[in-house]
């Protein structure tokens, strides 16, 4: 009986605790990676909430590591969870695809067909005429939501597979003459901002009453 209890304690210390540390660290670092990304986008509310849970999980994890300083597997689990959490956080952010981006397309080919296609599809853009040592070039600035990015790239490649373009993240947009194309909500991924929008609408309804 004593041997069985010792075996259970041994298994808990050398296997269960490191696994818990690993998965907790993955969660913690995934949240941290998302928090850093949202900081760059100026999402104050989401950043505050993510920061709270990130620090809470980290404290729980580090306390377990300190209590098991003689267990090398805890160190390995901590480091492995950190590395995996960075990867998972980036994947989650890519799946959410929140925010806007700006595409800069430079092409020597006549861009009128591309402009007509973009206008027909409802994308806002500005076309500039540039010059280099070899002649005239067309420079298009296309503003779109990240959820629509793959569709815009497909349009560009259909127009000219060899077209040169760059993609930049846009922190904020004031929609005036060039509004962003509306996208249908995805059923596959949960939009975090929807919670805050619903909450804000509820507050306004209460105030009006």
| pLDDT value at 8 more than 50 | yes
Give the pLDDT band of residue 5 (cuts 50, 70, 90): very low
Alpha carbon of 91 to those of 8, 41, 97: distances in Å? 37, 17, 10
**What average pLDDT does the segment 3-20 reach?**
75
In this predicted structure, the answer to whether residue 209 has a pLDDT above a threshold of 60 is no
- Lowest mean pLDDT, pick from 14-18, 88-92, 119-123, 173-177: 173-177
Q: Give the C-alpha separation, 14 to 73, whole Å.
A: 7
Does pTM top 0.75 for this prediction? Answer: no
196 pLDDT exceeds 50? no
Residue 141's Cβ-side half-sphere holds a number of Cα atoms within 13 Å equal to 10
Q: Is the pLDDT of residue 42 over 70?
A: yes
pLDDT tens readout for residues 163-174: 889 888 877 666
pLDDT at site 10: 83
Q: Given this model, what pLDDT does residue 199 score?
A: 46
């Amino acid at each position: 009986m004593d041997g069985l209890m010792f075996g259970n304690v041994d298994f808990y210390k050398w296997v269960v605790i490191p696994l818990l540390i690993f998965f907790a660290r993955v969660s913690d670092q995934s949240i941290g990676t998302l928090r850093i990304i949202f900081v760059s986008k100026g999402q104050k509310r989401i950043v505050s909430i993510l920061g709270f849970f990130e620090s809470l999980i980290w404290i729980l994890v580090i306390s377990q590591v300190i209590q098991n300083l003689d267990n090398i597997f805890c160190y390995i689990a901590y480091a492995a969870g950190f590395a995996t959490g960075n990867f998972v956080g980036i994947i989650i952010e890519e799946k959410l695809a929140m925010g806007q981006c700006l595409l800069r397309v430079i092409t020597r080919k006549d861009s009128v067909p591309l402009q007509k296609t973009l206008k027909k599809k409802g994308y806002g853009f500005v076309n500039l005429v540039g010059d280099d040592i070899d002649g005239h070039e067309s420079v298009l600035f296309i503003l779109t939501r990240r959820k629509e990015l793959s569709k815009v790239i497909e349009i560009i490649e259909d127009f000219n597979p060899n077209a040169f373009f760059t993609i930049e993240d846009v922190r904020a947009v004031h929609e005036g003459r060039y509004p962003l194309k509306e996208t249908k909500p995805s059923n596959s991924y949960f939009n975090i901002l929807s919670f805050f929008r619903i909450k804000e609408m509820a507050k306004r309804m209460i105030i009006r009453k």
